[in-house]
Copies of this chain bind each other. A is one copy, B any other.
Amino acid sequence: MSDGMVVGLDVGGTSTRATVVSLAGERLGAGRGGGGNPTSHGAERAAEELRVALSAALAGLDPGLVRAGTIGMAGVARLLADPVSRDAFDRMWHDVGLRCPYEIVGDALVAYASATAAPDGTILIAGTGAIAAEVRGLTLDRVADGHGWLLGDAGSGFWLGREAVRHALADLDRHRPLGPLGTLVLTELLGSTQVAARPRDTVDVLVQTVTRRPAVELAGLAPLVIRADREGDPAAATILAQAARLLAANVQRIRPADDSTPIVLGGGLLTGDAPLADAVRPALAARWPSALLVGAGDGAIAAAWLAARTLPEVTDPADLHRRLIGPTPGR
């Protein structure tokens, strides 16, 4: 094993994380920046956030020893087709002292590789949006959903938040008392649980409040569904179960019935202490009983590993994956 290093970046809409690791599997540095997607932030500002994260990760290290890099982010095809963004990224890379090549890959591939080194498998992500993708030879193959909140993202945080408001509106239309979920929605959006003497007046204010804001902010209400479910509201449980069904159906669009490769669950709604993951796992296990179901981990380290495995001196990429990320846990 040489003293070479690799860098990985996990670029998201709200934060960018960079990591430097040695080819022996040691974590040497880490850094963080703001949201770095050129589509939402513009090429220059996105590149600047990547520069901030990379500089911090490289502090005290010799960037000349970095042998390869991988940047994981959404919308790769759009970025690669845009010379302005590519140029901004190239300059940023050079400015922090890096002289090695780098690759830009989909955030879904990075999320997949954060959990397993298996070349073939499936990644299912539910955060603000929702997407599923087939991985073949550690590249993204077929993709399902990820169509955005207007046309898709079924079972995502946006979807959960919208269903939460729709549930409150349906109870108001029926002149029914609000349950725990409806009460949480009114408190969050109107600052009060008071329903007007004419419930339609509350409906109108609720609709106006939501439609005045950017639509995607509905994703911010997803935690209310999880909280109401924990409080025992059957309506919230029904919404979560429906989201789990939609996410599993989305995987079914791209994953063959007899596939036994791993399925990785990623995104804020499917990692950590996530009731949606608890609902999705049995739905996936029922359809693919022999598949390993595993939660996504550190995307920046996964990106660094994706960079490392292409180097000739990394003779056992699976071993390096174990050193960096640990053994793939069982279901």
The chain A residues found within 8 Å of chain B, CB to CB, are 77-78, 142-145, 147-148, 150-152, 162, 165-166, 169-170, 173-175, 200-201, 203-204, 207, 210-211, 215, 218, 253-254
Contacts and interface: CB of A to CB of B under 8 A. Distances in A.
Nearest to A207: B147
A210 B151 contact: yes
Contacts of A201: 77
B150 A210 contact: yes
A203 B144 CA distance: 10
Contacts of A148: 207, 211
5 contacts: A78-B204, A143-B200, A148-B211, A151-B211, A173-B253
A28 to B, nearest CB: 36
Contact of A173 (B144, B173, B174, B211): B144
Contacts of A207: 147-148, 151-152
A173 B143 contact: yes
Contact of A169 (B152, B166, B254): B152
Given A174-B253, A254-B174, A169 B151 contact: yes
Contacts of A254: 173-174
B174 A152 contact: no
A173 B77 CA distance: 17
Contacts of A152: 166, 169, 207
B173 A142 contact: yes
Contact of A77 (B78, B147, B175, B204): B204
Nearest to A200: B143
A151 B165 contact: yes
